[in-house]
A and B are shown apart, each in its own frame.
Chain A
Amino acid sequence: MKVSRRDFIRFSALAAALACIGAGGSIVARKEEVAKIVPIKTKDFPVGQCRYCAVGCTTIAECEVDETGKVVRVIAIKGDPDSPVNRGALCIKGFFLNKALEYKERPKRPLIRKEWINPATGKPDLNNCPRVKEGITTKDPLGRVPPEEDLKKNFVEVDWDTILNFIADAIERSIKEYGKFSVAYYGSGQLGTEETHVINKVLKGGFMLANNHIEGQPRMCMASAVVGFLQTFGRDEPYGSFDDVDVPDPDTGVHANTFFIMGSNTAEAHPILFNRIATLKYRDPENVKIILADPRKTRVGAIADLWLPFMSGSNLSLLNAMLHVIILEANNIKRVVDVDNAIVELNDGRKVHLKDIDWKYVDIKFIRRHCNFGIIKKVQKVWVLSEYDGGRQKVWDPAYKIGLKAEFYPNPKNADKYKSEEEIEKDWWKGFALYIKFLEDYKPEKVKDVIFRGEKPLLFDRKKGEWVEIKEEEAIRLAAKWFAEGITISLWTMGVNQNVQGAWINRALHALHLITGKAAKPGRHSFSLTGQPNACGGIRAPGALCHALFYGRVVADPVNRKEVIEIWRKRLADYLRKKGYSEEEIKKELDKIQIHDKPGPHTIEMFRRLAAGQIKVMFISTVNPGQSLPYAYVYREGMSRVEKGKPWPLVITLEAFPTTTTLCSDIVLPAASWYEKSFTYGNTERRYQYIRKVVDPPSKEMLPDSVIFAMIFRKLEERGLLPKGFVSCFWPEEYGKDWVKKTIENVHKFEWIDKFTENIWNELRELSKDTFYDLSGMTRDMLRKKVSGYRLPLPSEYHTNPDVKARYDKYMSKITYAYPYDPHIEKQTKKALDNLKKWAPVYAKWVEKLIEEEKKDLEYKRKEKVPENWWVSFYAGCKPVYKRKALPTGEKVPIIDCRAIIWMNPHWATIYDEKEKRFKKFTKVRIIKQRFNPEKAYKGLTPGYKPYDRYEDIEAEVIGDPDKDLNALFTLVLSPPEVPGVRIAYRRPDGKDEVIIDASEYPYGFCTGRVIEHWHSGTMTLRVPEIKRVLPEAYVEINAKLAEELGIKDGEPVIVESPRAKIELKAKVLDPKKALGGPRYDYLFAPWFDHNKLVSFLLRDNFDPFSFQADYKMAAVKIYKGTLPVKQAVPKKIVA
Chain B
Amino acid sequence: MIKRREFLKITFLTFLSSVAFASTNRKIEYDEEVIRPPGAVKDFSSRCIRCISCLSACTRVKRYAISLAGISKGLKNLGTPVVENMREYPCDLCMECTKVCPTGALQEIPKEEVKMGIAVIDIDLCLGWNSDICLSCSKVCPFANDVFEFKNSMWGNQPYIKPDKCVGCGLCVKACITKEPAVIVYPIKEYKKIEKEYLTYLEYVENLPYINRYKLVYEINLPRIMKIGVERGREEMVLKQYKIR
Contacts and interface: CB of A to CB of B under 8 A. Distances in A.
A7 B16 contact: yes
A302 to B, nearest CB: 6
A5 B30 contact: yes
B135 A268 contact: yes
Contacts of A5: 28, 30, 184, 186
A465 B226 CA distance: 36
Contact of A282 (B148, B153, B180, B230): B153
A34 B201 contact: no
A11 interface: yes
Interface in B168-210: 174-181, 184, 186, 194, 197-198, 200-201, 204, 208
A700 to B, nearest CB: 24
Interface string A3-27: 1111111111111011100010001
Interface stretch (B42-50, B99-107, B214-222): B214-222
Nearest to A73: B233
A1 B184 contact: yes
B2 interface: no
A591 B221 CA distance: 62
B24 A1075 contact: no
B16 to A, nearest CB: 6
Interface residues of B, number: 84
Contacts of B180: 3-4, 7
Interface string B23-55: 110101010000000000000000000000000
Contacts of B122: 4, 7-8, 11
A88 B218 contact: yes
A303 B120 contact: no
B1 interface: no
Interface string B210-245: 001011111110111011011100000000000000
Most-contacted residue by chain A among B148, B157, B224, B231 (CB, 10 A): B157
B79 interface: no
A33 B181 contact: no
A18 B156 CA distance: 21
A296 to B, nearest CB: 13
B153 A1012 contact: no
Contacts of B208: 23
A682 interface: no
Most-contacted residue by chain A among B84, B124, B208 (CB, 10 A): B124
B220 A30 contact: yes
A13 B220 CA distance: 14
A1051 B157 CA distance: 28
B154 interface: yes
A23 B153 CA distance: 21
Contact of A467 (B139, B145, B214): B145
Contacts of A278: 150, 152, 157
A38 interface: yes
A205 to B, nearest CB: 43
A166 interface: no
Contacts of B230: 38, 40, 75
Given A5-B28, A6-B16, A282 B139 contact: no
A1049 interface: yes
A302 B148 contact: yes
A565 interface: no
Interface string A289-308: 00000000001011100000
Interface stretch (A89-97, A237-245, A777-785): A89-97
Contacts of B181: 4
A190 B227 CA distance: 30
A92 B120 contact: no
A1013 B176 CA distance: 11
B86 interface: yes
A279 interface: yes
Interface of A is mostly: helix
A343 B193 CA distance: 73
A267 B138 CA distance: 12
B136 interface: yes
Contacts of A272: 133
A34 B227 contact: yes
Contacts of B123: 11
Contact of B216 (A23, A78, A302): A23
Nearest to B178: A1026
Contacts of B152: 275, 278-279, 281-282, 303
Interface in A1048-1091: 1049-1051, 1070-1071, 1073-1077
Contacts of B176: 1030
Given A3-B13, A7-B122, A34 B223 contact: yes
B20 A10 contact: yes
Contacts of A467: 145
Interface string A148-187: 0000000000000000000000000000000000000000
Contacts of A303: 150, 152
Nearest to A88: B131
A19 B16 CA distance: 23
Interface in B73-102: 84-87, 92, 94
Given A75-B230, A78-B222, A1030 B22 contact: no
A1133 interface: no
A275 B157 contact: yes
A242 to B, nearest CB: 13
A1073 B212 CA distance: 38
Given A34-B223, A34-B224, A1012 B134 contact: yes
A1075 B142 contact: yes
A79 interface: yes
B119 to A, nearest CB: 12
A1012 B135 contact: yes
A88 B153 CA distance: 12
A15 B201 contact: yes
B184 A4 contact: yes
Contact of A89 (B151, B156, B184): B156
Given A3-B12, A27-B219, A91 B133 contact: yes
Contacts of B231: 37-38
B11 to A, nearest CB: 11
B150 A1013 contact: no
Given A11-B123, A275-B156, A92 B220 contact: no
Contact of B134 (A36, A92, A1071): A92
Given A18-B204, A27-B216, A275 B197 contact: no
B204 A271 contact: no
A354 interface: no
B133 to A, nearest CB: 4
A1031 B177 CA distance: 9
Contacts of A964: none
A89 B133 contact: yes
A81 interface: yes
A11 B124 contact: yes
Most-contacted residue by chain B among A272, A276, A1030 (CB, 10 A): A1030
A476 to B, nearest CB: 23
B28 to A, nearest CB: 7
A559 interface: no
Given A27-B220, A1030-B177, A2 B124 contact: no
Nearest to A92: B134
Contacts of A14: 124, 201
B145 A10 contact: no
25 contacts: A1-B87, A3-B9, A6-B16, A7-B16, A7-B180, A8-B194, A9-B194, A14-B124, A17-B23, A23-B215, A27-B215, A37-B19, A62-B226, A81-B131, A88-B217, A88-B218, A89-B133, A92-B136, A271-B135, A282-B151, A282-B152, A299-B138, A1073-B145, A1075-B141, A1075-B145
Given A1-B84, A278-B150, 13 more contacts: A1-B85, A1-B184, A7-B125, A11-B123, A12-B26, A23-B212, A75-B226, A278-B152, A299-B135, A466-B145, A1074-B144, A1075-B142, A1076-B139
10 pairs of A and B residues whose beta carbons are closest in the complex: A1076-B144, A278-B152, A271-B133, A15-B201, A76-B226, A13-B24, A279-B152, A12-B197, A10-B20, A282-B152
